[in-house]
Amino acid sequence: MSLGLFLAQALTGLASAATLFLVSVGLSLVFGITRVVNFAHGAFFMVGAYVGYTLTNYFAASDALSYWLCVVAAAVIVGAIGMAVELLLMRRMYKVPELFQLLATFAVSLLIDDILPIIFGPEDLLAPRVRSLRGGIDLFGARMPVYDLYMIAAAAIVLLLLYIAITRTRWGVLIRAATQDRDMVGALGVNQAWLFTGVFTLGVFLAGLAGALQLGRTSANLGMGTSAITEAFVVVVIGGMGSVTGALVAAILIGELSALGVAYFPQLNLVLMFLIMAAVLAVRPSGLFGKPEALTRQHEFSDEPPLRAISRPLAFAAIALLALLTIAPAVLGTYGLSVVVDVMIAIVFAGSLYLILGPGGLVTFGHACYFGVGAYAVALGIRYAGLSFASALVLAPLAASLFALAFGWLSVRVSGVYFAMLTFALAQIVWSVVFQWYDVTGGDNGLIGLWPTSLSPLVFYFVTLALTAGSIAILGWIPHSALGYALRVTRDSPARAAAIGIDVRLVRLFAFVIASLFAGLAGGLSAFAKGSVFPTAISIGRSIDGLVMVLMGGVESIAGPVVGAAMFYLMQTEILRYTDRWRLVLGVLIILIVLVFPKGVVGSISQRLRGEESR
């Protein structure tokens, strides 16, 4: 490669780094002050692009100055939307558990995801390009897009302004103090609310700015929010949450390595990103410039009652349900049976997530990864190795637990929101690989025609029923076991766990792998049930579905995810008959759960019962 080409690649990398920096620095700043990871950050980035598109379309067809003004105006509008979201929703969120904060901000992104196509339509939108910003310049014999240079300049200006604001203004002093010491924020008194609003607005403004600037490089499209938030998570995980320097260094690292990686090993780009993240986290679990987290944290389950042996009415209900499902084929037709199968698969998936979320107290946003790996293991095994039904079904949980071993090893090095972001980023990387590796996975078209000719639907129904009953029995049992007890100590009091000889990471990894094994089994079953596999099996949407199922039911016992999964599945099917704006409904549902119904159905009922008993 010539020097010119190398330089051009390096500059392209720097331009990507500029976007990465602009997106992630906002995320990181907001976290530093409010301790909220704003999942909707990527969605605001996307809104920036769409608003920018509209403005430039109206006002800036010709000259560069009005183009830049439109970009800034778009960022201001997005910032204003962010401020409204902060005032209406986020204000109520600062005191609630991390899981609910993440879910609420994710709900905002769901709303945005569904509202944008209503306003702008589903097509990709290409902004008009101002002539003076188009074209390229020669650099040692290689061509370099001018716009990339402007991107770099824009990021540099923002960096400079941020630097001045943080080091030279009173507001910056507050920010630094609050980032350093969380208790300081409380001591700020009345100022605190406005500091939070200000920082949140600034963060969203920066996301909008990055989105609008991005218009000069790509079209505005509905997938850009998710990929932006994934990359931003990778950047802040590597750089360290709350650190501007960290965001800068990590953005340059990722931007450059992706750009040069594309030049040298185009297929390995995503794997490269994963390897960098793994390498950094192995050495510095809190990121390059992050501070180690304190071991103790207060968490959401401290008012949970001690575990009790499974009560007799509950055991009776479980047996009755099992009996009912055993005779169901006599009553239900093929369609009815397939619905029951789908519900059972959802139950196994939610049940496996419950183990991590409930007794484990770990918030994962990437559980679909193991479901998807199981599903693809079945599909690929049948397609390329001609596996039988039984052996493919064994392969699914095996493959999922192998992935869980590798990803889990990395993820359990961190906890809290870092764990959530990391599991999310890892799942997204797998999703992207599956999506892009067209030759093997069929990409977007998926793999279809998986139903083995020799398999009768009735046999499959009973296999699923047996596996579901077994899985739920095991997943419900583990919290009562020695491992489950140790797991709850790591959740409630990590410092105590270490002081009584419990290896916190190992216990968490163990539980993570067990849970993923069952998620993989669910995925494998779903590959057969549907007869096909698509990348959506791994998507963030599926992970969120799982979280909502568990939360709707409640995290205190295995009955929660079982009830929650059934309710969620039936509700989704019912609602989808009337509207395809499912994400809008789901977004509102999540916000409702978080604000009014945090204990879930089973949790609320058993709380009622306990209350009445003690009276």
For residue 346, CA distances in Å to 74, 389, 423, 538 come to 41, 20, 20, 14
Strands 532-533 and 447-448, by their bridges, are: antiparallel
CB 525 within 8 A of CB 393: yes
Single out the residue of 64, 109, 96 nearest to residue 207, CA to CA: 109
For residue 479, CA distances in Å to 253, 298, 304, 359 come to 42, 20, 14, 6
495 binds other proteins (CB under 8 A): yes
CA atoms of 266 and 510, how far apart (whole Å): 35
- Window 8-37: residues binding other proteins (CB under 8 A): none
CB 546 within 8 A of CB 74: no
Report the 10 Å Cβ neighbour count for 283: 8
DSSP letter for 307, please: P
Shortest distance (Å) from residue 135 CB to other proteins: 50
| Assigned token pair, 459 | 């046999």
Shortest distance (Å) from residue 237 CB to other proteins: 22
610 binds other proteins (CB under 8 A): no
Strand partners, 139: 142
Shortest distance (Å) from residue 507 CB to other proteins: 7
| Assigned token pair, 229 | 């938030």
Applying CB under 8 A, which part among 117-125, 189-197, 314-322, 475-483 lies near other proteins?
475-483
480 binds other proteins (CB under 8 A): yes
- Its sign, for the CA torsion 88, 90, 96, 99, is positive
482 binds other proteins (CB under 8 A): yes
Nearer to other proteins, 486 or 590 (CB): 486
CB 7 within 8 A of CB 142: yes
366 binds other proteins (CB under 8 A): no
Applying CB under 8 A, which part among 85-93, 301-309, 340-348, 406-414 lies near other proteins?
301-309
For residue 417, CA distances in Å to 362, 377, 570, 591 come to 9, 29, 31, 19
Shortest distance (Å) from residue 443 CB to other proteins: 38
Nearer to other proteins, 57 or 481 (CB): 481
Q: Report the residue from 94, 120, 171, 301 that binds other proteins according to the rule CB under 8 A.
A: 301
600 conformational bin, left if phi > 0, alpha if psi -120 to 50, beta if neither: left
Nearer to other proteins, 305 or 386 (CB): 305
456 binds other proteins (CB under 8 A): no
Residue identified by tokens 């605190």 is 192
Q: Report the residue from 164, 503, 570, 604 that binds other proteins according to the rule CB under 8 A.
A: 503
Nearer to other proteins, 92 or 496 (CB): 496
Three-state secondary-structure class, residue 360: coil
Shortest distance (Å) from residue 353 CB to other proteins: 18
305 binds other proteins (CB under 8 A): yes
607 binds other proteins (CB under 8 A): no
Integer-rounded Cα Rg, in Å, for the chain is 25
Angle at 104 between CA 523 and CA 46, to 5 degrees: 85
CB 357 within 8 A of CB 511: no
Q: Report the residue from 244, 395, 414, 478 that binds other proteins according to the rule CB under 8 A.
A: 478
156 binds other proteins (CB under 8 A): no
Single out the residue of 585, 573, 579, 574 nearest to residue 111, CA to CA: 585
For residue 537, CA distances in Å to 368, 369, 377 come to 7, 8, 12
489 binds other proteins (CB under 8 A): yes
Q: Report the residue from 79, 216, 484, 600 that binds other proteins according to the rule CB under 8 A.
A: 484
Q: Report the residue from 306, 333, 386, 449 that binds other proteins according to the rule CB under 8 A.
A: 306
189 binds other proteins (CB under 8 A): no
488 binds other proteins (CB under 8 A): yes
302 binds other proteins (CB under 8 A): yes
DSSP letter for 220, please: B
62 binds other proteins (CB under 8 A): no
Nearer to other proteins, 94 or 485 (CB): 485
Shortest distance (Å) from residue 243 CB to other proteins: 14
Report the 10 Å Cβ neighbour count for 245: 14
Q: Report the residue from 492, 551, 558, 589 that binds other proteins according to the rule CB under 8 A.
A: 492
How many angstroms separate the most distant Cα atoms in the chain? 84
333 conformational bin, left if phi > 0, alpha if psi -120 to 50, beta if neither: beta
502 binds other proteins (CB under 8 A): yes
Site mask, other proteins, residues 510-549, x = CB under 8 A?
x---x-----------------------------------
Shortest distance (Å) from residue 116 CB to other proteins: 42
Residue type, 312: R
- Window 218-257: residues binding other proteins (CB under 8 A): none
Nearer to other proteins, 301 or 409 (CB): 301
User: Got the DSSP string for 201-213?
Assistant: HHHHHHHHHHHHH
Nearer to other proteins, 143 or 496 (CB): 496
Spell out the residues 6+ positions from residue 217 whose beta carbon is closer than 8 angstroms to its own: 15, 19, 145, 147, 148, 151
Q: Report the residue from 295, 319, 324, 440 that binds other proteins according to the rule CB under 8 A.
A: 295
> Measured between alpha carbons, how far apart are the two ends of the chain, in Å?
79
283 binds other proteins (CB under 8 A): no
501 binds other proteins (CB under 8 A): yes
Shortest distance (Å) from residue 482 CB to other proteins: 5
Shortest distance (Å) from residue 423 CB to other proteins: 22
Q: Report the residue from 115, 498, 571, 601 that binds other proteins according to the rule CB under 8 A.
A: 498
Shortest distance (Å) from residue 494 CB to other proteins: 9
- Count residues binding other proteins (CB under 8 A): 35
Shortest distance (Å) from residue 302 CB to other proteins: 5
Shortest distance (Å) from residue 303 CB to other proteins: 7
Site mask, other proteins, residues 107-146, x = CB under 8 A?
----------------------------------------
CA atoms of 525 and 340, how far apart (whole Å): 13
CA atoms of 542 and 474, how far apart (whole Å): 23
* Interface ranges with other proteins (CB under 8 A): 295-296, 301-307, 309, 477-478, 480-486, 488-489, 492-493, 495-496, 498-503, 506-507, 510, 514
